[in-house]
Amino acid sequence: MADYRYVAYTKDRKLVHGIQSAANPDIASNILTSMDYKVLSIKPLPAFLPRWEPILLNLKKVSPREVIMFSRQWAILIESGTDIVSSLDLLRTQTTSRYFKEVLTQVNSDVRKGERLSVALSKHPKVFSRIYVQLIGVGEQTGGTESLLRQIADYMENDLKTAESIKAALRYPIIISVMGFVVVALLTFYVFPAFAGLYNSLNLELPTLTRVTLSTIKWLVDYGMFALGAVALTGVAIFLYSNTTKGSQQKDALFLHLPLLGRINRLNELVRCSRNISILQRASLPMAEILSIATESSNNIVIKQSLTNLQKEVLKGSSLSKPMAEDDNFLPLMTQMAGVGEATGKLDVTLSAVADSFEAEANDKTDKLIQLIQPAVIAVLGTVVGLIALSLITTMYSIYGQI
C-alpha cells in the first residue's frame, strides 16, 4: 500500500487535490474515477516526505456542530431513498472544512471498495466517536440508520449545549478579570511609582498605608518576575504530575470532591454516562458492550473505574442497579431509576429521565456558582484598586498638612 497525490476535477468542474492510498497508481486512479473524479495527474508521494500532509490534516479538528449538521442532513438523504455512497458524496461536496472533506472522501472510498460503513467510520476516531460508530453498526444490521443518526445528533447537541452554556456564562467574569488585572498592573507599575518619586523628593513622613503599599509595589518590581517564574514552574510541575497515572487519578478524585464544583463535575459525568447507556440500550446493544463504550466516553478516571467495575459485575450475571448501589460515585437517583428501568424493561427511558434531571441540576448549580464568582471578582479588584487610590489620596492630604 502506497500514497499517491492526485489532482482532479469533480462533476461540477471544481478542482480538487489530495492523497489516495492504493496498491498501485492504476488502482488509485480507478478509485478516484469511481468517485466521479476526472483525474488530471496522479503521482507517488515522495519517500522523504511520505506523511506530512496526513499529519497536518490529523492536527486539525472538525467542530461538533459540523458533525451534528452532517448527521441530520445524512439522515434526511437516507430517508429520501439516497444510497450511502451517493449521500456521502453529496455531503462531501457541501462541507466547507477541508479536513472533514478529506475524511468523508476516505470514508466514501472505503465504502466503495466494499467495507462496511461502520468500519470505514471507525478509522477516523477524531471525528466519529466510538458511540457514533457503534450506532451506525446497529443501523446497518437493523436498517434504521436514519433514526439512529437523528438520535446521535440529538445526543451530541445536548452535550454541546451544556459545554457552550458553561463557556458563555464564564465569559463575563473572565473579561472582567482580565480588564481588572490590566488596570491594577498599570496603577502598580506606572502610576504609583511616579508618585513614589515625588514623595521621596519631598522627604516627608508618609502614612502607614502608603508605606505598606510602596513596599509591596517595590517588592513586586524587584522580585515579581521571580515570583511569576516560581508560579509558572509550580504550574508546570503540577501539570506533569497530573499526567501520570497516579496524578491523574488524584486530580480526577479531587475534581469530584471540590466544594461547589465537585457536585457539578459529578453531575456532568453522570449525565454523559446516563445518556450513553440510554441511547445504546435503545439500540439493543448488550449491556457489557454498552458499559465498555460508556467507560471510554467518560472524562474522569474515577468514574471510568466505577464503570469498569460495573461491567465486570454484569459479565458475572449481575443486574446493573445492584453493583451501582454499592458504589458511592453513582448518585441514589440514578441507582433507583436504573432498578425501576430494569424491572419495567424501560431502562433507556428511565436513564434518559435521569440525564435530564441531572443536567437541569448541574445547569442550575453552575448558574448560581457563576453568580457568586462575578461579585467576588469585582470585590477583589475593587479592593485592590481602592487601596491604591486610598494610598494616593491619604498621602496627598498628609503632604498638604505637613507643608
Q: Which residues lie below 8 Å from residue 281, measured CB to CB, with a gap of 6+? A: 287, 290, 347, 348, 351
Mean pLDDT value across residues 319-344: 91
pLDDT(337) > 90: yes
Tens digits of residue pLDDT in 366-386: 888 877 877 887 888 788 778
- Sorted by where each starts, the structural domains of the chain and their CATH numbers stand as 2-58 (no CATH), 62-128 (no CATH), 172-403 (1.20.81.30)
User: What is the reported pLDDT for 102?
Assistant: 84
Mean pLDDT value across residues 333-350: 91
User: What is the reported pLDDT for 48?
Assistant: 45
User: What is the reported pLDDT for 85?
Assistant: 84
Which range among 55-69, 277-291, 327-341 has the greatest average pLDDT? 327-341
CA angle 302, 303, 309 (to 5 degrees): 95
Q: How many Cα neighbours within 13 Å face the side chain of 216?
A: 14
pLDDT(10) > 80: no
Strand partners, 22: 2
Instruction: List the grid coordinates of 86.
Output: 451517493
Mean pLDDT value across residues 327-350: 91
**Between 50 and 322, residue with greater pLDDT:** 322
pLDDT classification of 230: cutoffs 50, 70, 90: very high
Please name the helix (run of DSSP H) or strand (run of DSSP E) that holds residue 25, with its range, or none.
helix 25-34
pLDDT(340) > 90: yes
pLDDT classification of 353: cutoffs 50, 70, 90: very high
Mean pLDDT value across residues 82-89: 85
pLDDT(401) > 70: no
Cα separation, 127 vs 64, whole angstroms: 8
Amino acid identity, position 60:
K
Q: How many Cα neighbours within 13 Å face the side chain of 381?
A: 19
**Between 401 and 118, residue with greater pLDDT:** 118
pLDDT(316) > 80: yes
Cα separation, 280 vs 348, whole angstroms: 8
**Between 204 and 91, residue with greater pLDDT:** 91
pLDDT classification of 49: cutoffs 50, 70, 90: very low
pLDDT classification of 234: cutoffs 50, 70, 90: very high
pLDDT classification of 45: cutoffs 50, 70, 90: low
**Between 203 and 109, residue with greater pLDDT:** 109
User: What is the reported pLDDT for 60?
Assistant: 63
pLDDT(55) > 60: no
Cα separation, 403 vs 396, whole angstroms: 11
User: Where does 260-346 have alpha helices with state H?
Assistant: 261-282, 287-297, 301-315, 321-325, 332-344
Q: Which of 232, 365, 222 is nearest to 373 (CA)?
A: 365
User: What is the reported pLDDT for 1?
Assistant: 54
Q: Which of 346, 287, 297, 356 is nearest to 318 (CA)?
A: 287
pLDDT(397) > 80: no
Tens digits of residue pLDDT in 258-301: 887 888 889 988 998 898 888 888 888 888 888 988 888 888 89
- What is the residue-averaged pLDDT of the chain? 81
Q: Which of 197, 310, 298, 206 is nearest to 255 (CA)?
A: 298
Which SS3 state, helix, strand or coil, does residue 41 take?
strand
Share of the chain above pLDDT 90, in %: 11
Which SS3 state, helix, strand or coil, does residue 331 take?
coil
User: What is the reported pLDDT for 306?
Assistant: 92
User: What is the reported pLDDT for 364?
Assistant: 87
